[in-house]
């Protein structure tokens, strides 16, 4: 059920989520997106181009973060805009066979601004991995009834 515009206030938290990421997730995402850049699955290649290791796709990170908003809104179509700046890569270590994630992404959301005329709420997301913000100015515009 989607939230009611009239029940919202600026500064209100919409929730938090921890996303566990494995290298298997990155391979699956590569297949779904068609982005087979080896920096997202090959440790030797990633380090040869001076990365600290395999990194998650930026769009994987972005899509994982906005899931908090779509779940809160109750309808993915309610998100009419989503923008962000990529600031740090999400390093995903190889934990194959351990059952452990190679990285975690912490996402929290807060109502940043309400526009009564448009019936929209801007949701500001904080997205952190390994203690660092990996997305900046992550903002989703949600059309509510």
Set out the domains of the chain in order of their start, with CATH numbers. 5-143 (3.10.129.10)
Provide the residue count of the chain.
Answer: 145
Residues 6+ apart with CB under 8 A from 41: 23, 26, 27, 30, 54
Closest by Cα among 7, 3, 13, 124 to 73: 3
The pair of three-digit structure tokens given for residue 134, joined into one six-digit string? 């990996």
Does pLDDT of 11 surpass 90? yes
Q: How far apart are CA 138 and CA 145, in angstroms?
A: 23
Over the stretch 27-52, which tens digit does the pLDDT of each residue have? 999 999 999 999 999 999 999 999 99
Q: Give the Cα separation of 95 and 23 in Å (integer).
A: 8
Q: Write down the mean pLDDT value for the chain.
A: 96
Q: Is the pLDDT of residue 2 over 90?
A: no
| pLDDT of residue 1 exceeding 80 | no
């Amino acid at each position: 059920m989607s939230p009611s515009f009239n029940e919202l206030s600026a500064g209100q938290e919409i929730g938090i989520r921890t996303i566990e990421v494995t290298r298997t997730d990155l391979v699956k995402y590569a297949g779904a997106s068609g982005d087979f850049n080896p920096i997202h699955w090959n440790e030797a290649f990633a380090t040869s181009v001076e990365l600290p290791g395999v990194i998650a796709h930026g769009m994987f990170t972005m899509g994982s973060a906005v899931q908090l908003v779509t779940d809160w809104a109750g309808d993915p179509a309610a998100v009419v805009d989503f923008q962000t700046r990529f600031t740090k890569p999400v390093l995903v270590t190889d934990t194959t066979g351990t059952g452990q994630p190679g990285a975690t992404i912490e996402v929290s959301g807060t109502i940043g601004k309400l526009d009564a005329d448009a019936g929209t709420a801007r949701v500001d997301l904080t997205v952190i991995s390994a203690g660092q913000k990996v997305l900046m100015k992550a903002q989703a515009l949600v059309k509510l009834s």
